[in-house]
Amino acid sequence: MSISFTDPTALSHEQLEEGTQFAPRFDASGLVTVVTIEASSKDVLMLAHMNAQALSLTLETGIAHYWSRSRGKIWKKGETSGELQEVVELRVDCDQDAIVLTVNQTGRGAACHTGRKSCFYRRAIVEDGAARLQDTGLPLLFDPKDVYAS
Residues that bind its own copies (CB under 8 A): 1, 3-5, 17-22, 33, 35, 37, 41-44, 46-47, 59-60, 89-94, 98, 100, 112-114, 119-124, 126, 129-136
Closest approach of Cβ 42 to its own copies, in Å? 4
43 Cβ neighbours under 8 A, 6+ residues apart: 37, 117, 118
Closest approach of Cβ 143 to its own copies, in Å? 13
Closest approach of Cβ 114 to its own copies, in Å? 5
Q: What are all long-range contacts of 117-120, with beta carbons under 8 Å and residues at least 24 apart?
A: 117/38, 117/43, 117/45, 117/141, 118/43, 118/44, 118/45, 118/46, 119/45, 119/46, 119/47, 120/44
Query: Which lies closer to its own copies via its Cβ, residue 1 or residue 149?
Result: 1
